[in-house]
Structure 1
Amino acid sequence: MPSDTDYTRMKRLADLALAHGTAFAYAPWLLAKGGGLKAQAKSALGTFLAEAQAWPETVRRDFIVWLDRARQEFNDRKAITPHPVMTKLVLPTLQVWIANEPDAAWPHILLGRFHDWKLDAVPPEVHFRAALRRDPAITEAQRGLAFALVDIVEYNQHHLPGAYFGDRAEDVARMDEVLILSGAVPDAGESAWLNRRARTLRGHAAGETVSLGAASYPFDTGRPQSSP
């Protein structure tokens, strides 16, 4: 659920949207939603989608990249990407992008970042790996994959010291991969956190350390370092 802070951020984001050519049309919905005006928000969202679905593909891509950046500030990132926006705009646009540019890494990164289990049965890890097959050096995909792998192992260990979900050897391998990926993360603090967390989770998976079962579930698609 969106926090009170998220609703305040929506209204602030509306001002930024007004200054952005593509996102301008999203501002009325952000203002109404942030102000708790349900009827107006529903109407504004319908108007936005009718307009946005008619945009050229390049314009839809530009909006999705803007939205990806904007949602990083929110506690609940679904707050500004409601179900209709995902199903009628974000996911269809990314799928068309992949079909038109099969060698492009960015639409796969964005699928990982916008991932919603209710709408996409493909794990974020798969999307980030698809991006890395197209560009092995792209930092955003390396970072996304690192957090996705940590998220998997966090989940597998969240009932420790009781049940262990998944395969311990596979989780050891996942954390070994995160230890490598963490070196590519440009933010020094974040890189250090990933390294520490991977070592801790690896120890639990290998049976070398005992977990109390506390999980932070840190998966975060992250603030983009650059744009496609």
Structure 2
Amino acid sequence: MREKGLRKEAFKSLDKFLKSSKDWSFDMKIEFVRFLFHYFENVEDADYGPFPQPLNVDLVKPALEEWCSTEQKDHNPFRWYGKYYHSEKHIFKALEVNPADDLARQILLGWWANRINYSIHHLPEFYIGDPIEDIQLEEKIREQIKQLSSPDLRDYWTKEIDEDSELVKNYFDFKNSGHNDFEKWGKENNKQTGYSLTRSYYYEK
């Protein structure tokens, strides 16, 4: 119904479903949450349509909160709560329960890498944030990369952070140089200064 543009009718059906779930046992709620997130993690963009706000707030979040409050061995609910309710605390708990949970570790890496990317995405015009803090965050990212169980994932994330860390360090060096124009400094020192769809590099002729 939603795909046909019948949003009101779709949410009426969802409301009936949610009312019926009030009578579910805790185990039934866990079973549903497992089904839902397994689907999300195995079908690209699957969480875009089948995770409307009422389902999220009225059923899934309370079920996950109750599950996480008692779970000791299963890392999955902590990863799911961490990802969908943006809680680093829960991601770290998932990794504590299962250090080999590469999905959880990549969520953390994605969040941290995005922070650095946000700082540099307006260069060479201006830097958002503090390059020292970003350098420290980069060190934390590299420690997490080392703990990924897949060599392919380690290579992927290393390349991802290498590109942005180069810009951060270049800007840090520029600030310490006393130069007043980052782009000119880049040309003079053959350093990258821009971050855009096409990265800007300067080379000696």
Normalized against structure 1, the TM-score is what?
Answer: 0.65
1:179-218 alignment runs, 5 A limit: 179-183=142-146, 184=148, 186=150, 188=152, 190-207=153-170, 210-214=192-196
> Are positions 1:108 and 2:73 aligned together?
no
Tell me the amino acid that sits aligned with residue 147 of structure 1. G
CA distance, structure 1, for counterparts of residue 22 and residue 54 of structure 2: 11
Instruction: Please list the CA deviations of residues 50-96 of structure 1 after superposition, one character each: whole Å capped at 9, or x if unmatched.
Output: 12232222222222222223234344733221111111111111111
Equivalent residue, structure 1, for 2:50: 80
Aligned residues: 176
Equivalent residue, structure 2, for 1:35: 4
Q: Quote how far apart the aligned CAs of 1:33 are.
A: 2.0
> Are positions 1:91 and 2:91 aligned together?
no
> Are positions 1:145 and 2:108 aligned together?
yes
Change (3 A) 1:185 1:125: farther
Q: Quote how far apart the aligned CAs of 1:34 are.
A: 2.8
Query: What 5-or-longer segments of structure 2 have no aligned partner?
Result: 172-190, 198-205
Q: Which range moved further: 153-162 or 85-94?
A: 153-162
Normalized against structure 2, the TM-score is what?
Answer: 0.71
> Are positions 1:54 and 2:23 aligned together?
yes
CA distance, structure 2, for counterparts of residue 214 and residue 58 of structure 1: 49
Tell me the amino acid that sits aligned with residue 150 of structure 2. P
Tell me the amino acid that sits aligned with residue 127 of structure 2. Y
Q: Which has the higher contact order (CA 8 A, sep 6+)?
A: 1
Equivalent residue, structure 2, for 1:162: 125
Q: Quote how far apart the aligned CAs of 1:45 are.
A: 0.6
CA distance, structure 2, for counterparts of residue 61 and residue 200 of structure 1: 41
CA distance, structure 1, for counterparts of residue 6 and residue 116 of structure 2: 40
Q: Do the aligned partners of 1:106 and 1:131 also contact (CA within 8 Å) in 2?
A: yes
Equivalent residue, structure 2, for 1:136: 99
1:169-184 alignment runs, 5 A limit: 169-183=132-146, 184=148
CA distance, structure 1, for counterparts of residue 46 and residue 150 of structure 2: 24
Q: Which range moved further: 32-41 or 141-150?
A: 32-41
CA RMSD, 1 decimal: 2.7
